[in-house]
Structure 1
Amino acid sequence: MLDFSRQSGRRTARVAAALAVATLALSACGSNQSTTHSSATPTPSASASASMSASPSVSPSASATPTKAAKVITSLDAITVKGDAGKQPTVTAAWPIAIAKTQSKVLKAGSGRQVASGSTLSINYVGIDARTGKTFDSSFSRGQAATFSLSQVIAGFQKGLVGHKVGDRVLVMMPGSDGYDSSGGNAQAGILKGDSLIFVVDILDVAYTEASGTTVTPAAGLPKVTMKDGVPQLTIGKATKPSTLVVQPLIKGSGAKVTATDTLLVKYRSWAWSTGKVIDEGYTSAGIQGQLSSTISAWKKGLVGQTVGSRVLLIAPPSEAYPDGDPSASISKGETLVYVIDILMATKTS
């Protein structure tokens, strides 16, 4: 299982790749980007691959080709969506249809944080080929929400979701040029070059980019945490090394409380108490994801009950971290570790 709190600070790029957020099944085919999925990262579909050339899951009937030409629509009013938010919708239209430019429409308005370019999202969605009217992918049917960065998915998904809010149910339709045309379609999903695509998306959450909330004055006698160029700095100074786990919120976020079974998206940095040197650099990335249950005891005990959006100082004695040390991460036997962790998102693990 993934342990996303023990990687060496000298291997930041590899750590970020190994723990990158799960890629949506509709990742941009032919993209030069790549990512590696760890065993602790939720996979949005059985067809997802580490190369980001993942193809949406599909039923055999989705490859059927209509005999008439697609009607080009100019308004999403031509599409009917039925069903309650939170459940898989039924989508109907006079198939086949197509669209010249990506459009989106709010079917149910939310009031949460707004989606920005490059945001990391947690969503439920269904994807339909507008040529055939067939569903080619659905997180609803898998029973697991998808978590991904908008920088990792096809252009139409980015265009269709930016500006919308947590709680929105959004109808998105895109031309093939914003879908899979650059890869000649997606044969496994029955999507041909030129096919327009339709998605109904429930936006469940948008990750914070850094801690945000109410500043908390730490208890006296703890190491001092400051921020420089957006990165935590630690001064141990005359602080007394504790013998038990210390959990000190520095910023109290307003999000949901973390549970023991959550998958977390975090930024973090850690230091060795004995030297004050950084031993693990996970803060300068866009965020690192993994299951809380796979981490060291200090994280399991210290982060459960904290709220999303929080920044938390953890001081972990050897018994709560690595009693025997970890030479691969430059952690000596008996070392006390200090962590500063920003909790950006928490999603339920099915």
Structure 2
Amino acid sequence: MLLVGCGSDEQSAGSTSTSHSAAAASSSAAATAACPAGAGTPDPQWQFPGDTGSIAVTGPTDDARPVVEVTAPFHVETTTVHTLSVGSGSVVAPSAIATVCYEGVNGRTGKVFDSSYDRGLPAQFQLGGVVAGFAKAISGQTVGSDVAVAITSADGYPSGQPQAGIEAGDTLVFVLRILSSP
């Protein structure tokens, strides 16, 4: 199991912009024990132009995985977080352990490089042990939320992550469903 969002040798501070949707995630999202593999529909909740390229993101549902459409190469200079739907659970602390379903897409290629949806099971992360952009996407959100993030290379893998096909300078896009956090 490759958990690319999991760790980083280098983390840097960057600015984060957060936008909140008025929609609330269903209460069953936090109780979901599996990451659904069903095909999602490309009805974007977030369309975001990068410094080059663009993305259109549709969040997951109780039955379907998220959809990330990339006009490649997608690149951003600032890590940007967008809340697709707000959960009703507790706020995730910066040092928390969070259980999430996630999909990671490389902005240069538009291809999925890691996905708990492919495995059908959520992953658990200590936020202090993940790449900075992944932690920025989760910290301060509420359990049950669906979140998308466009992560700069500096907040992801500045030197690349060859086993995942990530090159130095690649922008990463993650879509996350936060299932729990103690």
- Output the TM-score relative to the length of structure 2: 0.71
Cα displacement (A) at 1:24? 4.5
For residues 106-156 of structure 1, the C-alpha deviation after alignment (integer angstroms, 9 at most, x for no partner) is 112211111111111010000000011000000011011101110110011
Query: 2:100 is matched with which residue: 123, 148, 153?
Result: 123
Say if 1:25 and 1:187 are closer, same or farther in 2 by CA, change over 3 A: closer
> How large is the Cα RMSD of the aligned pairs?
2.2
Q: Secondary structure at the match of 2:103?
A: strand
Which residue of structure 2 aligns with residue 132 of structure 1?
Answer: 109
2:181 equivalent to 1:202: no
For 1:190, the aligned partner's letter is: G
d(CA) in 2 for partners of 1:73 and 1:170? 22
Query: 2:166 is matched with which residue: 191, 206, 216?
Result: 191
2:55 equivalent to 1:79: yes
d(CA) in 2 for partners of 1:154 and 1:166? 20
- Greater C-alpha Rg: 1
Q: Secondary structure at the match of 1:157?
A: helix
Q: How does 1:166-181 map to 2 (within 5 A)?
A: 166-181=143-158
Which residue of structure 1 aligns with residue 142 of structure 2?
Answer: 165
Return the structure number with greater helix share.
Answer: 1
2:2 equivalent to 1:27: no
Which consecutive unaligned segments of at least 5 residues does structure 2 have? Answer: 11-49
For 1:26, the aligned partner's letter is: G
Say if 1:163 and 1:143 are closer, same or farther in 2 by CA, change over 3 A: same
Which consecutive unaligned segments of at least 5 residues does structure 1 have? Answer: 1-22, 32-70, 208-350
Runs of 4+ more than 3 Å apart: none
- Output the TM-score relative to the length of structure 1: 0.38
User: Relative contact order, CA 8 A, sep 6+: which one is greater?
Assistant: 2
d(CA) in 1 for partners of 2:5 and 2:60? 24
For 1:147, the aligned partner's letter is: Q
d(CA) in 2 for partners of 1:104 and 1:197? 12
Q: Secondary structure at the match of 1:179?
A: coil
| Number of equivalences | 142
For residues 294-347 of structure 1, the C-alpha deviation after alignment (integer angstroms, 9 at most, x for no partner) is xxxxxxxxxxxxxxxxxxxxxxxxxxxxxxxxxxxxxxxxxxxxxxxxxxxxxx
Cα displacement (A) at 1:25? 3.7
d(CA) in 2 for partners of 1:72 and 1:156? 17
For 1:97, the aligned partner's letter is: F
d(CA) in 2 for partners of 1:186 and 1:115? 27
d(CA) in 2 for partners of 1:138 and 1:84? 12
